[in-house]
Amino acid sequence: MTFLDFYEYSLIGLLLGGLYALIGLGFVLVYKATRVLNFAMGEFMMMGAYFYFSATVLMGLPWWAGVGIALGASAVLALGVERLVLRPLVGQPTISIVMATIGLASILHGTAVMVWGADQWRIEPIVPRAPFFLGDAMLPGQLVWGFGLASMIILGFVLFFRYARGGVAMRATATDPHTAMSLGIDAPRNTAITWVLAALISTIAGIMVGAMTNVSPELGLVGLAVIVVVILGGLDSIPGTIIAGLIIGWIESMSVAVFGSGVREIVPFAVILIIMMVRPFGLFGTPEIERL
Amino acid sequence: MSMPAPYTTEQGAPRPEEAVDALSVENLEVVYHHTIQVLKGLSLRVPQGQIVALLGSNGAGKSTTLKAISGLLPLERGHIETGRVLILGKDAGTSPPHVLARRGLAHVREGRCIFPDLTVEENLIAGSYALPRGKPDYDIVYNYFPKLTERRKLRAGFLSGGEQQMLAIGRALVAQPSLMLLDEPSLGLAPRVVAEIFGIIERVNREQNTAILLVEQNAVAALSIASYGYILEEGRVMLDGTVDALLDSPDVQRFYLGHGTGSDGAVQSYRTVKHYKRRKRWLS
Ligand SMILES: Nc1ncnc2c1ncn2[C@@H]1O[C@H](COP(=O)(O)OP(=O)(O)OP(=O)(O)O)[C@@H](O)[C@H]1O
Ligand SMILES: [Mg+2]
C-alpha cells in the first residue's frame, strides 16, 4: 500500500465513520432514555429510505417534499411503535423489551418486502456526486456531504443536551425517570420524543445510505454494524460513539484496502471482540451498566 | 385484624376552622406486588403552613406513605387498595407524579436522588418543571442555601452529602410548592449539618408558608421543628399528638428519644421497640 492509498483510505474511513456516529447517536438516545438496545434501528433507516423512495420515485415529488414526507411518516411510525409496543412493556425485564425490538425489526423487514418487494431500487442522491480533493486524495462527494450533515446533526444534539432547558429535562429523565417525574417532568412524553428523534435520525441516515448503495429490505443491515460502534462507544456516551464510529470506519476502510471488500462485514465484529475483552464496558461507557 | 391505636392522645392535628388541609390521608391501605401489605389503614393530616413529623422505625412504611401521596407508588409496583389522598382538598386519585408536582406538591425522596451528572444549576432547572407557569426564581434557593451558590457549575455528584441534601430540598423549592414531603433529610449527615438543614427547613416553612410532612428516624431533630407528630408502626399510626404531648409520653421518651436507655435516639431504639412489641404481643 502506498502512502497515498493509506492517506486516501484513512480519510474515506473517517468520513464513513461520521455516518456511523450519526446512526450510533440514534441508538444512544434510545439507550440513555430506556436502557434498551433497539435492534430495530436499522429497520427504521430502511423504512425511512423507502418512504423517501415512494415520495420521490413512485410519486414523482421533489426531493425536499420527499424528505418532509419521510420524516413525517417515520415520526408517526415511531410514535405508534412506542405507544403500542414499548410503553406496555415498561417495567418488564430489559431482555423482554430487547426481544420485542428484535421482533419489531423482522416485522418491519417483512412489511417492506410485502409493500415494496424484495428488489433493489435506486434513489437519486440529494447532494452533488462531484468528488472532493484533499491534497492528492479523491473523496466521494456523497460521503463528504454526508459527513458534513452528520456532524451538524450530532453537534446540534450535543448543544441541545448541554444548553437547552428541554435537553436538561431529557438528561434528567434518562438518569432517573421517577425522580424526574416527581419534579414535574413528563417522563413518558420525553421517552416518546426520544423514539421519534431516533427515528428522524435513522431516516436521514437511511436516505443517505440508500443513495450511496440501493434501497432494499436489506438496507437495515448497516444497523447491525453500527451496534458494534455503540457497544464500543459504551452505549450511553455520545462522545464515545463519535470516536468509536471514526475508529470502526477507519478500520473497515483500511481492511478493505488491504484484504479486499470481502472482509467488510467481519472486521467490525472482530474488532469489537478484541476490545471488549480488554474493556468490557466499552471505551467510554459507564462501568456499572448492565451488559446485554 | 384492625387494632385500635391505643396510644392516640388526640384526634389529629388541631385545625383552624374552615381551612382546608394541605394534605389529608384517609384510611390508606397499600400493597406491593399485589401481595405484600405495607400500610394497614393509615390516616394523617397536615394543616396548611405546618410541619408535621412522621416517625417510625425501619420498614414501618414511612417512605411508602410518601410514595402513595406523590403518585410514585404505581411506578414501584405498589397499589392503593383502599383509602384516598387529598392534596389541598383535591383528590389525588391516580394522577401521575408530574401532574401532582405541578399542583404544588414536592416530594424530596429518600436518599436525596439528585442527578449526579447534572450540575447544581441544571438540577435546579429540572426542578423548575413543576412550576405551572412563570419564570423560575433560582435566587430563592441560593438564598436559603448560600453554599450552593459557589457550586453552581459543579456536577452534583461531587457535592458532599449535606450539600446534596440541600440541593434536593432546594430543587424542590424552585417550584415554590405549597406542600413538601421530606423523606429522612438527616440520613447519613453529621449532627451539625442536620441542625443546619433543619434550621433552614423551619425557615422555609415560616417564610414561604410551606406545609411540610417530615419523615424521620431522628425523632429528636424532627420534633424540634414540628408542631404535630405521628408515630408509625407496621403500617399503622400507633401514636399521634402535638409535639408537647409526644415529648411527655413515656413510650416516646423510651423508644424514640432514647431517654432511660441513654442512647442517641434512632438506631438503638429500633431494637428496643422490636423487643418491646414482641413482649407486648405475648402479654396481650
Ligand atoms: N417496591 C417495593 N416492593 C416490595 N416491597 C416494598 C417495596 N418498597 C418497600 N417495600 C416494603 O415495604 C415495607 C415498608 O417500606 P418503607 O420503605 O415504606 O419503610 P420506611 O418506613 O420508609 O423504612 P426506612 O426507615 O428504612 O426508610 C418494607 O418492609 C419494605 O421491604
Ligand atoms: Mg424510608
Nearest to A44 by CA among A206, A161, A191, A181: A206
Q: Please write the tens of the pLDDT for every residue from B207-244.
A: 999 999 999 999 999 999 999 999 999 999 999 999 99
Mutating to test ligand 1, I would choose from B36, B42, B184, B270 the residue with most ligand atoms within 8 A of its C-beta, which is B36
Nearest to A217 by CA among A133, A117, A70: A117
Do the bridges between strand B228-233 and strand B51-56 make them parallel or antiparallel, or are there none, so unpaired? parallel
Q: Is A3 left (phi over 0), alpha (psi -120 to 50) or beta?
A: alpha
- C-beta separation of B53 from B229 below 8 A: yes
Q: What is the pLDDT of residue A64?
A: 96
- C-beta separation of A173 from A15 below 8 A: no
The backbone torsions φ and ψ at residue A40, rounded to the nearest 5 degrees and listed phi first, read -90, 5
Question: Dihedral of CA A129/A134/A138/A140: which sign?
Answer: negative
Q: What is the pLDDT of residue A287?
A: 61
**How far apart are the CA of B248 and the centre of ligand 2, in A?**
26
- C-beta separation of B42 from B83 below 8 A: yes
User: Residue range A268-292: average pLDDT?
Assistant: 69
Q: What is the total count of domains within chain B?
A: 1
CA B280 to chain centre: 28
CA distance B4 to A281: 55
- C-beta separation of B179 from B87 below 8 A: yes
B105 pairs with which residues across the strands?
B179
User: pLDDT 10s per residue in chain B (284 long)?
Assistant: 444 444 444 455 555 555 799 999 999 999 999 999 999 999 999 999 999 999 998 999 999 999 999 999 999 999 999 999 999 999 998 999 999 999 999 999 999 999 999 999 999 999 999 998 888 999 999 999 999 999 999 999 999 999 999 999 999 999 999 999 999 999 999 999 999 999 999 999 999 999 999 999 999 999 999 999 999 999 999 999 999 999 888 877 877 776 544 444 444 444 444 444 444 444 43
Residue A259 grid coordinates: 484484504
CA distance A69 to A64: 9
Residue B7: inside a domain = no
Contacts of A170 in chain B (CB under 8 A): none
Strand order in the sheet with B78-87: B36-46, B23-32, B78-87, B90-91
Residue ranges lining ligand 1, Cβ < 6 Å = B 32-33, 36, 38, 56, 58-64, 76-78, 110, 217
Interface ipTM:
0.84
Domain housing B99: 21-248
CA distance A290 to A3: 43
- C-beta separation of B108 from B130 below 8 A: no
Query: Which residues on chain A place their C-beta less than 8 Å from a C-beta of chain B?
Result: 91, 165, 168-169, 171-172, 175-176, 178-188
Residue B169: inside a domain = yes
DSSP-based three-state secondary structure for A176: coil
Please tell me which residue of chain B has the smallest CA distance to A189. B98
Residue A119: how many other CB atoms lie within 10 Å? 10
**How far apart are the CA of B76 and the centre of ligand 1, in A?**
11
- C-beta separation of A185 from A172 below 8 A: yes
CA distance B80 to B30: 5
Alpha helices in chain B (DSSP H): 62-70, 97-102, 120-127, 138-144, 146-149, 161-173, 191-208, 219-225, 243-248, 250-255, 266-283
For residue B161, give the CATH number of its domain.
Answer: 3.40.50.300
Q: What is the pLDDT of residue A261?
A: 78
Q: Which CATH class is domain A3-278?
A: mainly alpha
Q: Which of B101, B109, B116 sits opposite A184 (nearest CB)?
A: B101
Residue B128: inside a domain = yes
CA distance B58 to A158: 43
**How far apart are the CA of B111 and the centre of ligand 2, in A?**
9
Residue A46 grid coordinates: 430502511
Q: Return mean pLDDT, chain A.
A: 89
- C-beta separation of B238 from B231 below 8 A: yes
Residue B144: inside a domain = yes
Residue B3: inside a domain = no
Residue B192 grid coordinates: 451539625
Contacts 24+ apart (CB under 8 A), A132-140: A134/A11, A135/A7, A136/A4, A136/A7, A136/A8, A137/A4, A137/A7, A137/A8, A137/A11, A138/A8, A139/A8, A139/A11, A139/A12, A139/A15, A140/A12
Report the predicted TM-score, pTM, of the whole model to 2 decimal places.
0.84
- C-beta separation of B39 from B10 below 8 A: no
Q: How far is B125 from chain A (nearest CA, A)?
A: 7
Please tell me which residue of chain B has the smallest CA distance to A176. B115
